[in-house]
Chains A and B, each alone.
Chain A
Amino acid sequence: MILSRNFVKDYIDLDDSLDIKTIGEDMTRVGNEYDEARKFIDCTKLVIGEIIECVEHPDSDHLHVCKVNVGADVLQIVCGAPNARAGIKVIVALAGAKLPGGEIKAGAIRGQESNGMMCSIAELGLDNKFLKTEDKEGIAELGSDAVVGEDPIKYLGWDDEIVDFDLTANRGDLLSMLGMAYELGAVYDKPVKELDLSHGEAGEDINKSFKIDVQTENCKLFLARKVENVQIKESPAFIKNRLMACGIRPINNVVDISNYVMLELGQPLHFYDADNLGDTIVVRMAENGEKLTTLDDIERALDENDIVIANKEKSVGLAGVMGGLDTEVESSTKNVIIEAAIFDGVKVRKTSKKIVRSEASNRFEKGLDSKRTYMAMERACQMLEKYAGGTVVTGMCKHDVTADEDKKITLSYKNVNDVLGSSISKDEILNVFRKLGFTYEANDAEVIVNAPSRRLDISIKEDLIEEVSRIYGVDNIEGTIPTIGEKMGDYDNTIRSIRHKMSELGLNETLTYILINDKDVHKYTTEEFEELKLLDPITEDRNTLRYSVIPSLVKTYEYNKAHYNKDISIFEIGKGFFKKGEKYGENQKIAALMTGKYYLGVGNQANVDFYIIKGIVEELLDYLGYANRYSFVIPKEIPAEFHPGQVAEINVNADSVGIVGKLHPSETKDSVYVMEINLDKLLAKRVGKMKYKDIPTYPNVNKDVAFVMDKNKTSKEVESVIKKAGGSLLTNIEVFDVYTGENIGENEKSIAYSLTFNDSKKTLTEEEITPIFEKIIETTQNKCGVKLRK
């Protein structure tokens, strides 16, 4: 919303000494942020001049050398404009003048002295949409009444200043000069002036010849009046200038008046060519598939959510959004029907999103005060009478089911200070309401405020507290810290601990986007779920919510590889999303991807392999308290993206919580290993408190044994048999060597175990251990089909 200083001055006396930037800042402080505050025409050192002599430049075929009378002086100025000639009044930028295109300097052009520049309208920085061809092609020619030596911007009526506000959605009332006047009045403690809306009336009452028929609840107020015999012509300068200052292009006096009244009072109006409209206006919802050609000459397909204005035959306009082509006001228009109405904001918003967002639709969306609708109707009639020579027809057609009244809200001073944490006196509080132009009845404890209907944003006492804080100023309230006595819940630091543990293990944490390409969503898992796709993605590459975090890490790996980063060990804790059955859900997951070196140093380098990433998983599970409760098993179903011989399901309490393995060679030629654990599933498995256990008092006895077995036999199977056979005195089993090669069969491997025996009650003797050890060897050979390696 652009505020024009000249325009708003009709309603409030602002001190001329107030800088336009200060106005922007002061309005910002009360909640109305501004983007830009500046002169409408931002130029310096311009004067009106008259060309008194114009001759051809001796060294040019298009330049003129002019003598220009600027009042105090006669300047020689070289000018290239084709319309430069003696006798016309022009705009002269003196040496040192600052224009949007740069600074003007005195100098010589092809040997001829030139002390300034004669300007075109375009060179003054007027927005391109306001420029006519002649404004760009030649220097501006001012009227003969222009006084040499005076300010041309003032002469043109463009000596205006503007502030472009970025208003909040609740302040629809500020989308008008009158609304701005009230707000400025509160800021600067100035009264708002009354508006004269009087005009004449003639002829038979419109209700005898014209009818409105509102068939939908989405139109609470519809007013129609008729103005006859208007003359379509150019608007007076002040109307055009104010429209331009506010960013609207002048068209003709009738169209301009409808825009002018909207800017002034905030109420959008629509003018119909009465002769093309007929004798009835119907307001109804469109039928599905109904067609309407809007005034931009585009045929629109409508549906049941669009409010339309229709005559007896067909729709003639999209309510609040755009009029129809057939009933548009044209240069031949004689008689005009004025529509001033309030349409449902939500419906207008939906329709305008489809068609076009406009100044009008924006105002309907933000809400309108019915009092303004009546005012706008009278203002439009008055202006059509005055500036288009029209005759206002007696009477008004009216459909009004609004109940806008000033709201009486009771507010206690204590309440204000409790909520704001302030100690604002009764007088200061009442002063705020007075400045805002709200009437009230006050006693010692509370005040009943009449919040005017124009302030649609005010309905409860909290809204009034906000008004007090706005106008009184939050800067005047001292900050404090709240104290709540009651003990609050604890902070669960599990996720944070996992992050730190993974970082300690040498992995770098990533933070990737959860939106991925739907092509990748079912990868790296065989779990069944329905993927979640966005209804309206920004790009197809990010059209689906990820289920697994691994696709994000693989993409990160690819990105890094393309940037010549070879050794990559990364992890991420993040969510995966799904629909299973009718249920939508999300799980916190941790995934890691590792490739390249893990150990560094001369003679010590080691590349990541399956056992290193498995080690990471175990370290994490041990750290989280799941030691001795997990196992790695060959998955029943292997996702196609994994190497079928190097993949394991991670089980905790015999329940799958994740997967670890090498990526399939068809995925990448590099040795890349990934793992993922569903943290929600894992952390649901309870872990006991960390507790002290007795340290063994008596010495351990260690025995080593190696078995030769088939390559595909798992160590886990052998270990569990050893464990069972060893009984309670066998306290630990550790693999210390794995061997393949000479002396054993081609498809065999040898695994060496170190067994630890301990008795918590006495020192074990060789005689006690030997039979147990022999039993272990025998049982393992028999049960596992392995051979003792001698």
Chain B
Amino acid sequence: MEDVFVGVKLKIVPSKRKEGIMKEQIEQIKLTAKEEISKVEDLKTLVDLKVKYLGKKGELTSVLRGMGALSPEERPVIGSLVNEVRDELEAIIAEKENSFKEAELNKKLEKETIDITLPSKKAIRGSEHPLNRTIEEIEDLFISMGYEVIDGPELETDEFCFERLNLPKGHPARDMQDSFYITDEYLLRTQTSAVQAHTMLKYAENQKPIKMICVGKTYRREDDATHSHQFNQVEGLVIDRKENKVSLADLKGTLEVFVRKMLGENTKLRFRPSYFPFTEPSYEVDCTCFKCAGKGCSLCKQTGWIEILGSGIVHPNVLKMNGYDPEEWGGFAFGTGIDRLAMFKYGIPDMRYLYANDVRFLKQFDRKD
């Protein structure tokens, strides 16, 4: 702190000389300060040095105070020199200060460093059943083609499950579907086709065209390696005025789109005339075997074809029984099992896995398709 008083002594020196001495003095302060700053190794000492040289009572400020002895011409010269030095010292200190702060932060960060490979904290993850995923895909496809998705009861009456679909009691085709009856009248629906009759009756009130699918559970009295007593079907129905000519060609085109989407672009279809009481003409639809692509394998019994759909032109009796005049209206219907499509889609080898609900199975279906 002794140096502070150097300036005081200068008062008596004649001004021109004084100017030279002050310049020297300032230069000296600068050199000393720079040296001291360069040696500093902690933030606190640095702050002390800042006060010592640049503070209100600091050395450079003292020099300024001694300027009264100078001539008016000399003052700005010394003043600007002091400011120059101050700026330089401030910059050096700031730089040093920043490097100390950074080092301190780095130390803190280093201390906070963790093992990022340890397990995360998370809630458990859920999944959606592969059958329902397949159903959603089918629904989305038909919604995109302008179909409505309609739900119907699973506990049905004989009337809606059979009679209104042109299957009177005692009809031989009823053998095709051994049913779970609750009473003489009530049964678990054997086919989603039951929803056809409900929908037609509803839309017939306003004589409106229909373009719908129904997806859901169906039940038949059989249980073996390839048949589950509970399974899922999708049913489609399109009814329009005769002049709009909803035709077999339309049915064919629609099913081609459906099958290619679900089973792959290269899948081919074969329409085989068949018999269902609710359609006339009726067709069973085979697709090229999805295991062997039509070459012949155990799945397709060496035929290259797999039967996947039932379809046809809605029978006039069905239209009539459910409120549409067959002379004015016509359309097509189709239905298929979904379980096998889901198995194909996800490569599930055994039908029984779908209903066992082992969580190790379920958890596999936990991401975007």
Residues in chain A within 8 A of chain B (CB atoms): 28-31, 33, 168-171, 345-346, 349-350, 365-366, 418-422, 457, 460, 462-463, 465-466, 469-470, 474-475, 477-484, 486, 488-492, 496, 499-500, 502-515, 532-538, 542, 545, 556, 559-560, 563, 565, 567-570, 574-575, 577, 584-586, 597-604
Contact = CB atoms under 8 A, between A and B. Distances in A.
A606 to B, nearest CB: 9
Closest 8 CB pairs of A and B: A421-B249, A421-B247, A31-B273, A466-B281, A346-B170, A479-B253, A168-B275, A601-B121
Contacts of B211: 482, 484, 488
Contacts of B334: none
B119 A601 contact: yes
Interface string B102-134: 000000000000000011111111111101100
Interface in B142-171: 143, 145-149, 153-155, 169-170
B221 A474 contact: no
B128 A500 contact: yes
B65 interface: no
Contact of A515 (B155, B229, B250, B360): B229
B100 interface: no
Interface centre among B148, B176, B281, B354 (most CB of A within 10 A): B281
B270 A475 contact: yes
A463 B121 CA distance: 67
Contacts of B119: 600-602
B359 interface: yes
Given A469-B248, A538-B229, A545 B155 contact: yes
Interface string B335-355: 000000000000000000011
Contacts of B148: 488-491
Interface residues of B, number: 88
Chain B's interface: helix, strand, loop or mixed, by majority? mixed
Contacts of B208: 486
Contacts of A420: 247-249
A481 B126 contact: no
Nearest to B123: A506
B252 A479 contact: yes
Contacts of A170: 173, 275
17 contacts: A33-B284, A419-B248, A420-B247, A422-B247, A469-B281, A474-B252, A477-B249, A482-B238, A509-B126, A511-B131, A535-B183, A560-B359, A563-B358, A575-B154, A584-B155, A601-B121, A602-B119
Given A499-B128, A563-B360, A586-B153, 14 more contacts: A168-B274, A169-B275, A345-B170, A366-B172, A421-B245, A462-B280, A462-B316, A474-B273, A477-B248, A532-B155, A559-B357, A570-B362, A599-B124, A600-B120
Contact of B154 (A502, A514, A537, A559): A514
Nearest to A345: B172
Contacts of A474: 248, 252, 271, 273, 283
B173 A169 contact: yes
B242 interface: yes
Interface string B218-256: 010101000001100000001010101111111011111
A1 B250 CA distance: 34
Central interface residue in B124, B129, B175, by most chain A CB within 10 Å: B124
A626 to B, nearest CB: 21
Contacts of B186: 532, 584
Contacts of B355: 511-513
B123 A510 contact: no
B150 to A, nearest CB: 8
Contact of B147 (A488, A513, A538): A488
B217 A514 contact: yes
B357 A419 contact: no
Nearest to B360: A565
B155 A586 contact: yes
A601 B128 contact: no
Contacts of B290: none
A602 B114 CA distance: 13
Contacts of B223: 538
A567 B359 CA distance: 9
A511 B126 contact: no
A602 B118 contact: yes
A481 B136 CA distance: 21
Contacts of B181: 534-536
A565 B145 contact: no
B228 to A, nearest CB: 8
B254 A505 contact: no
Given A349-B170, A565-B358, A507 B273 contact: no
Nearest to B228: A513
A85 to B, nearest CB: 44
B176 A169 contact: yes
B330 interface: yes
B230 A506 contact: no
Given A345-B172, A418-B245, A600-B124, A482 B240 contact: yes
B273 A462 contact: no
A668 to B, nearest CB: 16
B363 interface: yes
A462 B313 contact: yes
A514 B126 contact: no
B17 interface: no
A575 B156 CA distance: 13
B2 to A, nearest CB: 57
A321 B369 CA distance: 56
A349 B143 contact: no
A422 B253 contact: no
A565 B124 CA distance: 14
B296 interface: no
B67 interface: no
Given A477-B252, A480-B249, A512 B357 contact: yes
A534 to B, nearest CB: 5
A29 B272 CA distance: 6
A90 B219 CA distance: 56
Contact of A365 (B155, B172, B249): B172
Nearest to B170: A346
B188 interface: yes
A489 B206 CA distance: 14
Given A422-B248, A567-B124, A484 B281 contact: no
